[in-house]
Copies of this chain bind each other. A is one copy, B any other.
Amino acid sequence: MRTLIVIGTGLIGGSFALAAKKAHLVETVIGLDDDENTLIEAKKLGVIDEIGGPALRPDLVCVAIPTNGIADAVTAAHAQYGPDVPIFDTGSVKVPVIEAFDSVPANFVPCHPIAGSDLQGPAAADADLFQDCSVVVTPLEHTNTSAVAVIEKAWSGIGARVIRQPPDQHDNDMATVSHLPHLVGFALVDLLANGATSLSDLIGGGFRDITRIAGSDPTIWRHILTDNAGRVREKMDELIRILETIQNAAQYDPDELQRILTRISDYRKRLDG
């Protein structure tokens, strides 16, 4: 491939651009972004080679923008570059992105790289962001298999592990492992902010760890939490039931509490091992 177009040159798009260049998957990266400052910064930092003009002939298009704009951007790219150029997105939800299309182009491959940072913008872009990370690819029945092959090869080429899932399973799993944890991180920080006294001197590493994600980009998370609200609500209700169970054990049955915490602690350790 010669030319990659990245629509949205922030953390994720910028990191894909740097990684694709580093792995020699593409020769030239052209950037497009609604925010002109982001684009200028991306060019200045060498995250992209050129700022996009009207007559482009890309070999691959990466759409790395907030989820609510993806369908429009993909539809426009499809119209402009034709049905033979593979297009993928990087949105953290898949069903709402797919449902936002009038018709989903066969050359569009929905993707979600499970990587991120509480940093934002092209200055945070990192050629190694996707190294060893998982990328969920959720092709539809009519998705072009050669487009899927090109895009999965690109992700593998920059060191990511490709996982295929149906879109609804992806959104359900993400509610558990990402969206609800973010909601909880935001809520814990809000609880702290409501405190009458300044508690910041008392904060240990545990609180910092558990709330680091509450520093994430509010605009991105506004869209994710809105898009996947139904599934997050289900998981939140389940979490509240678990909180009640553990807390009741703490109040009324310490031995049961010990059994619960031991089981969870063992499970958590296996996640790292």
Residues in chain A within 8 A of chain B (CB atoms): 114-116, 133-134, 136, 161, 163, 169, 173-174, 176-178, 180-195, 197, 199-219, 221-222, 225-226, 229-230, 232-233, 235-236, 238-240, 242-243, 246-247, 250-251, 254, 257-258, 260-265, 267-269, 271-272
10 A-B residue contacts at CB 8 Å?
A116-B205, A177-B203, A184-B243, A186-B246, A190-B267, A210-B212, A216-B265, A217-B265, A232-B247, A233-B251
The 3 closest A-B pairs by CB, nearest first: A218-B261, A225-B250, A218-B262
Contact (Cβ within 8 A) B232 A200 = no
The answer, among B180, B194, B214, for a CB contact under 8 Å with A188, is B180
Given the contacts A180-B188, A180-B191, A229 and B247 also touching, CB distance less than 8 Å: yes
B-side contacts of A222, CB under 8 Å: 254, 257-258, 261
B-side contacts of A226, CB under 8 Å: 250-251, 254, 257
B-side contacts of A207, CB under 8 Å: 177-178, 181
Contact (Cβ within 8 A) B114 A239 = no
B-side contacts of A200, CB under 8 Å: 271
The answer, among B163, B206, B221, B264, for a CB contact under 8 Å with A261, is B221
Given the contacts A177-B204, A177-B207, A187 and B246 also touching, CB distance less than 8 Å: yes
Contact (Cβ within 8 A) B201 A163 = yes
Contact (Cβ within 8 A) B238 A201 = no
The CA-CA distance from A163 to B203 in the complex, in Å, is 12
The CA-CA distance from A194 to B180 in the complex, in Å, is 15
- Using CB atoms, name the residue of chain B closest to A267: B193
The answer, among B178, B202, B250, B268, for a CB contact under 8 Å with A214, is B268
The answer, among B182, B204, B261, B264, for a CB contact under 8 Å with A115, is B204
Contact (Cβ within 8 A) B235 A191 = yes
Given the contacts A189-B264, A192-B177, A233 and B247 also touching, CB distance less than 8 Å: yes
CB distance from A222 to the nearest CB of B (A): 4
Contact (Cβ within 8 A) A229 B250 = yes
B-side contacts of A221, CB under 8 Å: 261
Contact (Cβ within 8 A) A268 B203 = no
The answer, among B190, B210, B213, for a CB contact under 8 Å with A181, is B210
The answer, among B216, B235, B265, for a CB contact under 8 Å with A215, is B265
Contact (Cβ within 8 A) A199 B214 = no
- Using CB atoms, name the residue of chain B closest to A222: B258
The CA-CA distance from A235 to B258 in the complex, in Å, is 21
The CA-CA distance from A197 to B265 in the complex, in Å, is 19
B-side contacts of A258, CB under 8 Å: 218-219, 222
